[in-house]
Amino acid sequence: MTKPLIALAALALAVPAQAKTPAAPPPPAPSLEQIADDALKSDSHAWDFVEGITTEVGQRQAGTEAEARGRAWAVAWLKAKGFRNVADEPYMMPTWVPGEPGSAEIVSPFPQSLAVAPLGDSGSTGPEGITAEVVMFRTVADLQAAPQGSLKGKIAYVSNAMTRTQDGSQYGFAGPTRWVASGIAASKGALATVIKSVGTDLHRNPHTGGTDFPEGVKPTPGGALSNPDAANLERMFARAKGRPITMKLVLTPRFLGETQSGNVVGEIVGRNPSLPPVLLACHLDSWWLGTGAIDDGAGCAIIAAAAKNVSAAGQPLRTIRVLFAGAEETGLFGSAAYSKAHINETIAVGLESDFGADRIWRFDSNFRTSNPALHKKIALAVARFGVSAGTDVAGGGADLNIVRDQKGALVDLQQDGTRYFDLHHTPDDTLDKIDPVQLRQNVAVWTQVVGILANEATSIQTGGPIPAAPPIMTGK
Amino acid sequence: MTKPLIALAALALAVPAQAKTPAAPPPPAPSLEQIADDALKSDSHAWDFVEGITTEVGQRQAGTEAEARGRAWAVAWLKAKGFRNVADEPYMMPTWVPGEPGSAEIVSPFPQSLAVAPLGDSGSTGPEGITAEVVMFRTVADLQAAPQGSLKGKIAYVSNAMTRTQDGSQYGFAGPTRWVASGIAASKGALATVIKSVGTDLHRNPHTGGTDFPEGVKPTPGGALSNPDAANLERMFARAKGRPITMKLVLTPRFLGETQSGNVVGEIVGRNPSLPPVLLACHLDSWWLGTGAIDDGAGCAIIAAAAKNVSAAGQPLRTIRVLFAGAEETGLFGSAAYSKAHINETIAVGLESDFGADRIWRFDSNFRTSNPALHKKIALAVARFGVSAGTDVAGGGADLNIVRDQKGALVDLQQDGTRYFDLHHTPDDTLDKIDPVQLRQNVAVWTQVVGILANEATSIQTGGPIPAAPPIMTGK
């Protein structure tokens, strides 16, 4: 059915006559360990996926025709690679689009342009823009402390530099600048909000991402300045010595109402398809600015390559299902829709890749105390790839709502995030940022771990017999 | 007259009564060597200049009101720092402006946007843009070899990656892609030309710069793709397998005709102002995309700081003149105008800073054989800053036309250009790219070298007596 299988059949017909002598039995399939080791050195799938989708599709803004082209591309790719039960499962979602490229001009006292991009779910200034005085706040807490109404007719600016961490934990500290500042400023009467990008680089590339407005607060225009531009604005405040700084801001995003999106799924069917499957997740959508290479083309590439690699060691016991979720960036709509549609189909264990393509340095599970033998088995198997066993309780990625809803088993394969926030949600999220050596290490580790999990005959959560009924069904 | 002097006068009046006892004689001025050494550790001038002009003015596109604001800012700064004979010397020039931000959309077979910027002196597509098939050439030589008329109705794309070199020599190999490809393609009938950026980074920031059209060839639209976008386009060619690649290109630059620009000059007046002065050059204009921090705000900052520092060691023998030239980027108009206006005023020696703000690693002169003692004196003095003596013949920077026209003495203080072409002519040319430690090394070396030259009583070119008549006047 698939192209590779057809090609192979054609090749078989073309075997010359002297090949009629009795064929030797086929060599045994290589071991999972051998295949994982080989994945460090060569890669037939992961680069092909992420190079292909970033080149042939590019950006895949959630809910748009570009995301739909991404799904069609991914469906064709999975089918060509021999995945079974490939489908694009539709759902409806509220869709926001960024509009024209925005602009932020300082009108006075130091006229010049600052690089800006709108934040997801923020409002529009209209094409004519708004011109207003900028009021600076160092932190979200400072903004929170501003008296009610004090921002009336003003543009709020929130500065809050993000620093670099391997585990990405700084996102929790810097992220609120993007997540809540626009809503707080709007509720205090601000016309619009601009923030310093939640990112660790020094390029003229703003970091977009979603922002939230409290119930009942009308979305105002919200934008992120690139870090060099934010630094420039702050120097302007220092040099203005109290003179007002006036900005003309033009941001024209639009809400399209409900549009169709979808989740792409595909399977490596197991020897016992009645056993709960192993679910590997990523997301297919991206912000419009970049090409969605590290966020999250690489994640889909890694999980699909691992599933294919595991099958090369022989048909696994359990089915391995890949879920290329839609519309993660703008509100986890695909993750929610998948859980809603499939909540009654118990998942054995869920894993997600959505933190770039740099090396995996630690793994965590949420069954370290309930099934220590399996946790230890994985720890021993991944040690040779430089991955240490963590003691955190795995929480799963954004697209694993179904597993969390089922209170199921989770494994987190933690990637090195040191340079992730240089690129996250920027125009710079492009293929060239992926280091093929580190990408292969991801595939090797995923191959090893997924292979163990997909061949696990006992309950992943307990190590005991697999429950007859899905856990989610009992007691409900 | 200047602010610092007024402040000092006010301070003197405020001295308390008990200070009436006879004052000790003022301490002797520190030596040039001491001042140069101190410049490594602290900087009162260079950062102040480049931080100020990038914050308060920003981009300074040649011939525009932004460049004029830059000149006004620089004049005020030089006066405030106590420079004498500060002036903005006007000249007229043909002015090109970039128009609206451009766009390059791949229409088929892989629809997506590529980041593009127009090239200086290129033509306009009109706001409606042009849509045409793209024809790829690996090199300028390949483009040159295309049959006459073969590009009719097409967009030419020239790929020619630049590699990284400390001395910037790769610019000579990669530069022609920008300098001549548009003109060659236009003469073969191409509608427009896009090139891979002449730059060494992997960010979504196109590198602009001037392009040339041969006499009689009407300027066509010309743009640079960022390097990630150029790589994406090349992957599209590989994946299209012969299917045509169609691009919609929108670039709207305009020619404004003649507008006024100017050269800003200022002096540290020497003890013997009748001696030919030492001329220190940089350029004040920048491309519109960045803020002109490394190209060439830093250069002006370095030369001005060095001139100030030398004066702190006592009034120099010769006058030190700084020349902040205008309109270097779009055609060396300031350099030409300065030479034309001042050709009869002999310059003792010229030096230029226009290669970023990274450390100086070598110096060259054009008097190593004619005045070996002075060359050696400089070599010995700068060795302690990690600067080696070169054997190349110094050619001087772009703004030293007058010295070349006079066949005068030149010193080149060679900077480390390893990362210069990551930033050159891009939006990323911003203050944060300047390393203050390396900036100070520049100021220290310049202070030392300018101090030696400005106190040189004999001819810099020969070591002999200073000729009575300017060399340029003899034999003409």
Q: Is A111 exposed, middle or buried (0-12, 13-18, 19+ CB in 10 A)?
A: middle
Rounded Cα distance, A139 and A122, in Å: 20
Greatest extent of chain B over all pairs of C-alpha atoms, in Å:
92
Residues of A within an 8 Å Cβ radius of B = 51-52, 54-59, 66, 69, 101, 109-113, 115, 202-205, 227-228, 231-232, 235-236, 239, 290-291, 426-428, 430-433
Contact state of B115 with A54 under an 8 Å Cβ cutoff: no
Closest CA relative to residue B112, chosen from A57, A391, A457? A57
Confidence class for position B27, pLDDT limits 50, 70, 90: confident
- Residue ranges of domains in chain B, CATH in brackets: 29-90+260-473 (3.40.630.10), 102-254 (3.50.30.30)
With contact defined as beta carbons under 8 Å apart, do B432 and B440 qualify?
no
pLDDT at A20: 53
For tokens 């020349």, what's the residue? B323
pLDDT at A27: 79
* ipTM of the shown complex: 0.91
- Residue B116: beta bridge partners? B225
Please list, in sequence order, all residues whose beta carbon lies within 8 angstroms of the beta carbon of residue B238, skipping any fewer than 6 positions away: none
**How far is the alpha carbon of A164 from chain B, nearest alpha carbon, in Å?**
17
**How far is the alpha carbon of B294 from chain A, nearest alpha carbon, in Å?**
14
What average pLDDT score do residues B44-71 get? 98
Question: E strands within B212-352?
Answer: 222-225, 246-250, 254-268, 278-283, 320-325, 349-352
Please list, in sequence order, all residues whose beta carbon lies within 8 angstroms of the beta carbon of residue B469, skipping any fewer than 6 positions away: none
Amino acid identity of B132? A
Number of residues assigned to chain B: 476
With contact defined as beta carbons under 8 Å apart, do B405 and B396 qualify?
no
pLDDT at A255: 97
Q: ∠ CA B315-B317-B319 to the nearest 5 degrees?
A: 85
Rounded Cα distance, A108 and B39, in Å: 34
**What confidence tens digit (pLDDT) does each residue in B319-353 have?**
999 999 999 999 999 999 999 999 999 999 999 99
What average pLDDT score do residues B190-195 get? 98
Take residue B153 and report the two structure tokens written for it: 């109705």
pLDDT at B12: 40
**What confidence tens digit (pLDDT) does each residue in B224-278 have?**
999 999 999 999 999 999 999 999 999 999 999 999 999 999 999 999 999 999 9
Percentage of chain B with pLDDT > 90? 91
Take residue A326 and report the two structure tokens written for it: 């839609």
Contact state of A54 with B205 under an 8 Å Cβ cutoff: no
pLDDT at A25: 78
Contact state of A428 with B57 under an 8 Å Cβ cutoff: no
Residue B88 has pLDDT above 50, yes or no: yes
Residue B19 has pLDDT above 90, yes or no: no
Rounded Cα distance, B404 and B396, in Å: 8
pLDDT at A466: 84
Per-residue pLDDT of chain A (476 residues), as tens digits, is 233 333 334 444 444 445 455 667 777 889 999 999 999 999 999 999 999 999 999 999 999 999 999 999 999 999 999 999 999 999 999 999 999 999 999 999 999 999 999 999 999 999 999 999 999 999 999 999 999 989 999 999 999 899 999 999 999 999 999 999 999 999 999 999 999 999 999 999 999 999 999 999 999 999 999 999 999 999 999 999 999 999 999 999 999 999 999 999 999 999 999 999 999 999 999 999 999 999 999 999 999 999 999 999 999 999 999 999 999 999 999 999 999 999 999 999 999 999 999 999 999 999 999 999 999 999 999 999 999 999 999 999 999 999 999 999 999 999 999 999 999 999 999 999 999 999 999 999 999 999 999 999 999 999 999 865 444 443 33
Residue B96 has pLDDT above 80, yes or no: yes
